[in-house]
Amino acid sequence: MAREKCPTKKQASKMDNVWSKIADYACGKSKLSTRSQKLFDDFVKESSLKLTLSELFIPQKPLTSSEKNKKNELQKIKYMAYN
């Protein structure tokens, strides 16, 4: 079983940069460039998909006993692969 690839320090740093820029924009600490603002506005105009909160949260049905057994078996395999 293949192991999940961990991000390198450089990749992690880039991801941190992106998230901090998003957080700064969301908090009003920074503004989008003119081009980015236009792209965002165009996206909002073209996006006709409007979901209500109740549509976002679809309750899951409980697992059957065979699904639970399969899940537990896969978790054991994953645990053994990482240890």
What mean pLDDT comes out for the span 58-81? 88
Distance from CA of residue 10 to its chain's centroid? Answer: 20
Residues in the chain, how many? 83
Q: Where are the domains of the chain?
A: 8-46
User: Tokens standing for 31?
Assistant: 């503004």
Please report which confidence band the pLDDT of residue 67 belongs to, taking 50, 70 and 90 as the band edges.
very high
| Residue 74 reports pLDDT greater than 80 | yes
Distance CA 35, CA 24 (A): 18
* pLDDT per residue as tens digits for the range 7-63: 666 667 777 788 888 888 888 888 888 998 898 888 888 776 666 666 667 778 898
pTM for this model (two decimals): 0.35
Q: Report the alpha-carbon angle 5-7-10, nearest 5.
A: 150
Q: Are 82 and 2 in contact (CB under 8 A)?
A: no
Q: Are 31 and 25 in contact (CB under 8 A)?
A: yes
